[in-house]
Amino acid sequence: MQKVDHPQDIFRLNTQELISIDGIGPVVANAIQKFNNWDEVDKLLSQTEVCGASIISFRDNNYPALLKEIFDPPILLWVKGDPAILDLPGVAVIGTRRATSYGIRKAKEFTADLTAQHLTVVSGLAYGVDAIAHRTTIENGGKTVAVLGSGIDTIYPGKHKDLAKDIWESGGAVISEFPPGTKPDAGNFPVRNRIVSGLTLGTLVIESGLEGGSMITARSALDQNREVFAIPHSLDNENGRGCNAIIKRGWGKLVQHIDDILDELTVTRVREDQEPRIQKRNWEMAELDEVSGTICRVLHESTYPIHIDDLSEKLEMPTFRLLPKLLELEMMDCVRQIAGKKFELS
């Protein structure tokens, strides 16, 4: 630290000496001089030790370099897991808590592809897309970081305690800027989102409505001069209108393939002949005849579920011949039907 050899010495400096330190203004200097609540400090340190976490300060050498670059980086980070993971190149994968089957499929596909490229996946441990991104990363042997909107000792939502444990036990990390004991108040999450984007080279929005945390995170990424990517959605999908708006407004890049992301990032690609994808999709592993294989490829190339009539037109096949094939593929867990006579890959 500037001006002092040891952190405790900062409390011996006068106002002018404190203000001369980068990041300390008159208000903070006054608060430092008046501080005398050492019992609370001891309590926080004890809580940190009890829950098995560590603390990284902004001045520490292992503070994440990318996070230091943002306008308002957290002064302290509580970390449970491997702190070194925070400095590895990564991408934030975020989206709605109420993911559609299409959103779930895309979250799994792109997370697996990012993991295959040795990119850390960062998200917020919420229901829906966040949890899918964390879990898929672990299943594919990758590293993931969960950023909390509560204290490090309060995993939220509570149903994700096992997922959080799996994250740090698999070599990832769960982190928070909020002191132990902090409850998951609604106002914490928009603040938390700047860390999700700030830790990463870019943010991928899988599925999002026009309002909500994902859009806040996307705007944070823009403010931080980071890349933003969005998956296109059908106009009928209200949960995808945020993604479409990101693309329409020019906030981010339309993404249909992992290469659309890698083209914008300064990372070394892993070629398929170096490291094949760990997890193949059901239809790729199944023994399909030519017609069934063509159906699956058409569904795979589409950015949204296809109506039976549109699928019939694309394949130049009458519906009475197409339906038995689709039923056969459903029984093989390669294809599923959703509302409105639409079909998509499982």
Query: Average pLDDT in the 82-107 region?
Result: 95
pLDDT of residue 77: 96
Largest CA distance in the chain: 85
Cβ neighbors of 15 (< 8 A, separation 6 or more) are 26, 29, 30, 33
Of the pLDDT bands very low, low, confident and very high (cuts 50, 70, 90), residue 47 is confident
pLDDT of residue 279: 46
Helix (H), strand (E) counts: the chain: 15, 12
Over the range 3-36, which residues count as b (16 or more CB within 10 Å of their CB) and which as e?
eeeeeeebeebeeeebeebeebeeeebeeeeeee
Q: Are 242 and 180 in contact (CB under 8 A)?
A: no
pLDDT of residue 2: 52
Cα gap 283→286, rounded to integer Å:
5
Cβ neighbors of 320 (< 8 A, separation 6 or more) are none
pLDDT of residue 148: 98
Q: What is the pLDDT of residues 219-263, one digit of tens each?
A: 999 999 999 999 999 888 999 999 999 999 999 999 999 999 999
Of the pLDDT bands very low, low, confident and very high (cuts 50, 70, 90), residue 209 is very high
Cα gap 296→283, rounded to integer Å:
7
Of the pLDDT bands very low, low, confident and very high (cuts 50, 70, 90), residue 176 is very high
Q: Are 221 and 199 in contact (CB under 8 A)?
A: no
Checking if the pLDDT of 3 tops 70, the result is no
Domains defined along the chain, listed by start: 1-36 (no CATH), 77-270 (3.40.50.450), 282-345 (1.10.10.10)
CB atoms within 10 A of CB 255: 23
Checking if the pLDDT of 272 tops 60, the result is no
CB atoms within 10 A of CB 44: 17
pLDDT of residue 276: 40
Checking if the pLDDT of 1 tops 50, the result is no
Query: Average pLDDT in the 201-229 region?
Result: 96
* Tokens (6 digits) for 317: 């096949």
pLDDT of residue 275: 46
CB atoms within 10 A of CB 65: 10
Of the pLDDT bands very low, low, confident and very high (cuts 50, 70, 90), residue 7 is low
Percent of the chain with pLDDT over 90: 57
Pick the closest to residue 294 from 325, 340, 258 (CA basis): 325
Q: What is the pLDDT of residues 129-139, one digit of tens each?
A: 999 999 999 99
Query: Average pLDDT in the 316-333 region?
Result: 86
Q: Are 303 and 233 in contact (CB under 8 A)?
A: yes
DSSP 345: E
281 CB burial (10 A radius; 0-12, 13-18, 19+)? middle
Three-state secondary structure string covering 60-115: CCCCCHHHHCCCCCCCEEEEEECHHHHHCCEEEEEECCCCCHHHHHHHHHHHHHHH
Q: Are 46 and 37 in contact (CB under 8 A)?
A: no
Of the pLDDT bands very low, low, confident and very high (cuts 50, 70, 90), residue 59 is confident
Cα gap 24→307, rounded to integer Å:
60
Cα gap 305→60, rounded to integer Å:
49
DSSP codes, 138-157: HHTT--EEEE-SS-TTS-SS
For residue 180, is the peptide bond before it cis, meaning its omega torsion is within 30 degrees of 0?
A: no
pLDDT of residue 286: 73
> Can you point out the beta strands (E) in 130-287?
144-147, 173-176, 202-207, 227-230, 253-254
Of the pLDDT bands very low, low, confident and very high (cuts 50, 70, 90), residue 293 is confident
pLDDT of residue 292: 87
